[in-house]
Amino acid sequence: MQNKLNHIMASVAESIFEQVAFVFADDIGIHCRPQDNNWDALGAELKFTGTINGTIHLWLETTLASNIALNMLAAEEPIEKEKAIDAVREMCNIISGNFITTAYQNADIILHIPDLLDTKILHEDFIDPHGVWFSSDDGAILILVKET
Amino acid sequence: MAYSILIVDDSEIIRSMISRTITLTKLPVHTFREARNGIEALDVLNRDWIDIVFTDLNMPVMNGLDLIKNMKKTVDLEDVPVIVITTEGNIHRLDELKDAGARDCIRKPFTPEKIRDVITNVLGVWDAK
C-alpha cells in the first residue's frame, strides 16, 4: 500500500512542482537523498482526517524553498525567510490536496491547515525508508505520506 | 467598468499569484484588496465596495465557508459573488460550499484560462484587448 501511495505522490508532486513553482525534478528515488546528514531544509505538515487519517510532510532544501518563493511571486530580488516558509506551506497544501483527491478518490476527508515543521523532526524524516525523494537543480525535496 | 476585487487567503504568495493571474485575464480592475482570513474580509467588505471575492477555504480565524455564510446573512453583502479557490477535492465539501452560496470553485493549481472562464461566467464578458 505504501508503495502505491508513494507512486501516486511522486506523480502528483512532480506535476505540481512544474505547474506552480516551475521546478523540474531531475530524478526521483532514494538515491536523490543528500549525502549530508545535516541537510538544511524547511518543512511543512498537513494533517487529514475523515474516513482515512494521516499526515503529509514536505521538506524543501532551503535554497530551493527560496527559489520557489521567488518563482511563485514572480520576483527577482532576494526574499525574506518568511516568504520561503509561506512557499513551503502552500506547496504542501496544494500537493496534499491533489494527492488526496487522486489517492483516495471520493473518500470523505477533511484537510487541515498546513503547519510549519520543527527541524527536530527533520532527522527522523530524513532516515525514514518510506520517503519520496526528488532532486532538482536547486536542491532536494522529501515528501512523506503516513496513514495513521 | 473596472472591478474592485477582494482576495482572501492566509498565504501572501497565493494572494499575489491570484492577483497576477487575474491581471493576465485582462479584466479591467479598479482595485485589488487583500485579507488573510474571513474576519479581515468581512471588515473590508463592510467598509469598501467590492464587486467579486476570491477566497481560500481553509484559513485560520475564519474559513471561507463561514465567510460565505456571514455574507449571506448580511443584506448589503448577500449578492456579492464569491469564488472559492481551494485544494479541496472532497465532493461533499464542494457541495457544501455551493449550497452556502459560493458561485463557483476553482481547484489549485489554477490557470489564467480557468480564472477567466469563471469570471466571465460570474461578471459577464469584457473586452479583453
Which residues of chain A does B56 touch, with a Cβ-Cβ cutoff of 8 Å?
none
Strand partners, A140: A135
Which residue on chain A is closest to B108 by alpha carbon?
A: A94
Q: Beta partners for A79? A: none
Residue with cell 443584506: B75
User: Is residue A2 very low, low, confident or very high in pLDDT (cuts 50, 70, 90)?
Assistant: confident
Longest alpha-carbon distance in chain B: 40
Each residue of B71-95: pLDDT tens digit? 999 999 999 999 999 998 888 889 9
Q: Which three cell numbers stand for residue A15?
A: 506535476
Residues of A in contact with B107 (CB under 8 A): 97-98
Q: Is the pLDDT of residue B129 over 60?
A: no
Q: DSSP of A54-111, one letter per residue?
A: EEEEEEEEHHHHHHHHHHHHT--S---HHHHHHHHHHHHHHHHHHHHHHHHTT--EEE
What does the pLDDT read at residue A106?
78
Q: Predicted confidence band at A142 (pLDDT cuts at 50, 70, 90)?
A: very high
Residues of A in contact with B60 (CB under 8 A): 113
Maximum mean pLDDT: which of A24-28, A129-133, B88-92 = A129-133
**Contact state of A97 with B14 under an 8 Å Cβ cutoff:** no
Q: Can you tell me whether residue A32 is helix, strand or coil?
A: helix
Task: List the single residue in B10, B13, B87 with the smallest CB-CB distance to A111.
Answer: B87
**Which of B:37-76 have CB within 8 Å of A?**
58-60
Pairing of strands B3-8, B82-86: unpaired
Stretch A64-89: mean pLDDT: 92
- Nearest by CB to residue A97, choosing from B10, B92, B108, is B108
For the full predicted model, state whether its pTM sits above 0.95.
no
- How far apart (Å, rounded) are the C-alpha atoms in residues A45 and A11? 19
For residues A43 and A25, the model is more confident at A43
**pLDDT given at position B127:** 60
DSSP SS3 for A141? strand
Q: Is B108 within 8 Å of A94 when comparing Cβ atoms?
A: yes
Contact B87 A87 (CB under 8 A): no
Are B106 and B84 a contacting pair, CB within 8 Å? yes
Contact across the interface for A93 and B93, Cβ inside 8 Å: no
